[in-house]
Amino acid sequence: MKATERYRIDHTLVSPALARLALRLALIMLTVCVLAFADLAAGEAMNAGPSVDSSVSFTFLDVGQGDAILVSTSDGHHMLVDGGTRAAGPRVVARLLELGVEHLDVLVSTHPHEDHIGGLTDVLNAVTVGRVID
């Protein structure tokens, strides 16, 4: 495939690198969601997991370099995957509060790189967290 070729995703042309990144993020998110919510259902908080009728939404927070992804169910459960850099922490907190998120059922740290966990200190100081997965 030539570097100039593009993929069409939702009627928008994107570069192959961006398409690979989107696919990678989607697969990571699916895996994290299945593991995190299955872990909740298997633990003592069995009734705290999402209901069968709930839907799931993903909000990709703008943290510049790094990741911060909010996974929410329609019945009010929230999971944050990573928190961006330390400098992005206040923006992550502001966006969570803007979205009405004052409690995270699950906080996931995918790996200990600054651009993924740097902002989590601000998140932990601002909202309550039920379970941390690292």
Instruction: Give the pLDDT of the chain (134 residues) as one tens digit per residue.
Output: 455 555 554 555 556 666 667 667 776 776 766 666 665 555 544 455 555 566 888 888 888 888 888 999 888 999 999 998 999 999 999 999 999 999 999 999 888 888 888 999 999 999 999 999 88
Q: Report the alpha-carbon distance of residue 31 to residue 126 in Å, rounded.
A: 27
Q: Report the alpha-carbon distance of residue 39 to residue 59 in Å, rounded.
A: 22
Q: pTM (2 decimals)? A: 0.63
Q: Report the alpha-carbon distance of residue 112 to residue 124 in Å, rounded.
A: 16
Q: Report the alpha-carbon distance of residue 79 to residue 70 in Å, rounded.
A: 6
Q: How far is CA 75 from the centre of its chain?
A: 17
For 78, the enclosing helix (H) or strand (E) is strand 78-81
* The token pair that represents 78 in the structure block: 């929230």
Q: What is the DSSP letter of 43?
A: S
What are the residue boundaries of the structural domains of the chain, listed by start? 7-133
